[in-house]
Amino acid sequence: MKNAIFIKLFFVLIFVTSENLFCQSPLITGTIKRKTETLNGKWHYIIDPYESGFYNYRYQPYDEVEHPGSGGYYKNFIQTDKSDLIEYNFDKSPTLLVPGDWNTQDERLLYYEGTIWYKKSFDYLKDNSSNRIFIYFGAANYQADVYLNGKKLGRHIGGFTPFNFEVTDIIKDTGNFIIVKVDNKRKREAVPTLNTDWWNYGGLTRDVKIIEVPETFIRDYFIQLKRDSKDILSGYVKLDGNNLNNVPVEIHIPEAGIKHTVQTNEKGNAEIEIRTSKLTLWSPENPKLYDVTLKAGQDIVNEKTGFRTISTGGKEILLNGQPVFLKGICIHEENVLRGNRAYSKEDARMILGWVKELSGNFARLAHYPHNGYMARVADEMGIMLWEEIPVYWTIDWENEKTFNNAKSQLKDVITRDKNRASVIFWSVGNETPVIEPRLKFMTSLIAEAKKLDNTRLISAALEQHGLEEDRNIRVITDPLADYVDVLSFNEYIGWYDGLPDNCENIIWKIEQDKPVIISEFGAGALQGFHGDRLTRWTEEFQEDLYRKTLDMLVKIPQLRGTTPWILCDFRSPRRPLPVIQDGWNRKGLISQTGNKKKAFYVLKNFYNNFELNK
């Protein structure tokens, strides 16, 4: 009897911990200059809409049953005897390029939502036998189950944030095979949820690489100017490994004459606080970056890093203490010329180059974390950024798992980009409805963002409303407005909300004493389609809307920035109108062919001439 209870308890324990058995390692930051080897390139793939490579005929996951047989794809069974029954073969299957969405690499996959299996073989020789090895994924949309050499490493949920697994004990010098099941099915409880206005690109959409580090290494560090201070660098360093206590960590910024050592505690953590008076602060006019090196034992991390302050005071946004107007534009993570997901440094240069051409100094990376190159290139080019998590429209507000999912996406993007001077905002969502459970959800995310990083501004793209007695009087009544540092809202007056002439009648009554950013406005136009200013989808309609909207917005006394919707046309299944849309949202200022529409020049002209009355 006692034994039976014990056995029961044992199984309960296994069940309770099984979610954590296969778990990711904490995220490694500063991966750019570490010792890495790319796993990008061609990966074999198998399309598996019924997930028969994952579940047996009783719908049990092969990787959880005692006798998986030869069915589970993760084992990569290969026929060795002529009588062997194996109904798949990765090596004879076609290949997809990684990084890259699958939708645009195989005609059958344009609208595909489901599971695809990826496989790559590789050899890997360690530099040093005591070193530790991780496999790092920039992103996989949406759920990834990862296996190395037939062993499950874990599962990651969320399509736009990085994750890594330690493989030190599994990786071999030769003959490794990594298999990833990627599933991009949309789900009600997911983040984002079922309905969005962008393409559900699936696959291993960002870089995949091997990272090799010493036994004890710098897993994470944060070094930025302390909130409201121009002469104290502060943050922390976190080591991972065996000998964590009392390790000296050296922080070296030669150009600023900084050489400073901190000692870790028994958990391998150390606080950083360094006084300095020699820093040239980062700004769009002078995007100064310093070589920052951290050394702990045998580990070295080195990154180009800028330092600046960002804060608000009354209706001002203050960059390095000076009022600034954010001349921005929204961006989706697409290379419009290829018509697919953007993933490279070159893509980032092209996209942010257009922001510069627009005379912009700011970009809103909508509506999910973009790849890590964006913030690095923005650092170099001097473009301030708004980064966002996909808490979009109709999230499952009362579901705790959904909240935890949103929270970990927030944590991961902050972990990845917190040392980038270009990033000045963390946004916790877009156009979420003003209902009770959502307020708790959103304010908890705001609290989390502040806890992780108190040096940046927090916002969310809210909505505005017309008063019942007079629809032309526009107000922000959302209680979330009290929790954000900057009041940002979207408005589509002239497109979804009357015609552009209506802009002249609008009266803004914004009671909140906070800077205001118009996080979206816009109109659809097919590049090359011309007509009068009242004909929808013409460049003239869009141009007129931009003129009238900007005239209207400058009357808002607290206006401190605009990010119209959007830099480039982008793919969206919500947009089927033949000839005009054909699956593209046409609110871009730049077309599918890379041509600028008339409204591009209206905005450019506005940004060139607008000066903040200080």
Where does this chain bind ligand GCB (CB under 6 A)?
A: 197, 367, 430-431, 490, 520, 565, 585, 587
Q: What is the DSSP letter of 63?
A: G
The count of C-alpha atoms lying within 13 angstroms of the C-alpha of 221, restricted to the half-sphere facing its C-beta, is 31
- Packing angle of the helix pair 345-357, 373-381 (nearest 10 deg): 40
Minimum CB separation of residue 335 from ligand GCB in Å reads 18
Q: Where would I find the beta strands (DSSP E) of 431-571? A: 457-463, 465-466, 473-475, 487-490, 507-508, 516-520, 559-562, 570-571
Q: Which residue has the tokens 């006394």?
A: 557
**Residue 489 CA neighbour count, 13 Å, CB half:** 26
Contacts for 514 with CB less than 8 Å, ≥ 6 apart: 312, 315, 481, 484, 485, 486, 487, 558
* The one-letter amino acid at 541: F
Contacts for 19 with CB less than 8 Å, ≥ 6 apart: none
**CB 486, min distance to ligand GCB, A:** 17
* Least Cβ distance, residue 518 to ligand GCB (angstroms): 12
The 3-state secondary structure of 406-466, one letter per residue: HHHHHHHHHHHHCCCCCEEEEEEEECCCCCHHHHHHHHHHHHHHHHHCCCCEEEEEEECEE
- What is the closest distance, in whole angstroms, from the C-beta atom of residue 460 to ligand GCB in the complex? 11
Q: Select 393 or 610, whichever has its Cβ closest to ligand GCB.
A: 393
3-state SS of 208-265 is: EEEEEECCCEEEEEEEEECCCCCCEEEEEEEEECCCCCCCEEEEEEHHHCEEEEEECC
232 by Cβ neighbours in 10 Å (0-12 / 13-18 / 19+) ranks as: middle
DSSP strand pairing (290-296 vs 248-253):
antiparallel
Chain centre distance of CA 346:
18
Nearer to ligand GCB, 198 or 397 (CB): 198
Please say which residue, 136 or 565, places its beta carbon nearer to ligand GCB. Answer: 565
- How far apart are CB 573 and ligand GCB at their closest, in Å? 12
Count of helices and strands (H, E) across the chain: 7, 36
Least distance CB 95 / ligand GCB (angstroms): 33
For the CB of residue 464, give the shortest distance to ligand GCB in the complex, in Å. 11
Q: Could you tell me the smallest distance in angstroms from the CB atom of residue 198 to ligand GCB?
A: 7
Q: 43 vs 201, which CB is nearer to ligand GCB? A: 201
Nearest-approach distance from CB 597 to ligand GCB, in angstroms: 15
The CB-of-490 to ligand GCB minimum distance in angstroms stands at 5
Nearer Cβ to ligand GCB (292/566): 566
Let me know: does 228 contact 311? Beta carbons within 8 Å: yes
C-beta nearest to ligand GCB: residue: 197
CA dist 514 → 317, 489, 490, 508, 557 (Å): 9, 12, 16, 14, 10
Q: Residue 268, Cα to own-chain centre: how many angstroms?
A: 28
Which CB, 197 or 380, lies closer to ligand GCB?
197
> Using an 8 Å Cβ cutoff, are 324 and 247 in contact?
no
Residue 237 or 351 with smaller CB distance to ligand GCB:
351
The crossing angle, in degrees rounded to 10, of helices 539-553 and 598-609 is 20
Cβ proximity to ligand GCB: between 215 and 431 the closer is 431
Q: How far is the CB of 194 from ligand GCB (least distance, A)?
A: 14
Tell me the C-alpha to C-alpha distance, in Å, between residue 417 and each of 5, 221, 413, 595: 49, 11, 6, 31
Nearer to ligand GCB, 130 or 195 (CB): 195
CB of 75 to ligand GCB, least distance (A): 41
CB 146 within 8 A of CB 164: no
- Among residues 501, 305, 572, the alpha carbon closest in space to that of 419 is found at 305
Q: What angle do CA 103, 108, 112 make, to 5 degrees?
A: 55
Strand pairing partners for 501?
Answer: none
Would you say 206 or 587 has its CB closer to ligand GCB? 587
Q: What is the smallest separation between the CB atom of 541 and ligand GCB, expressed in angstroms?
A: 14
CB 113 within 8 A of CB 36: no
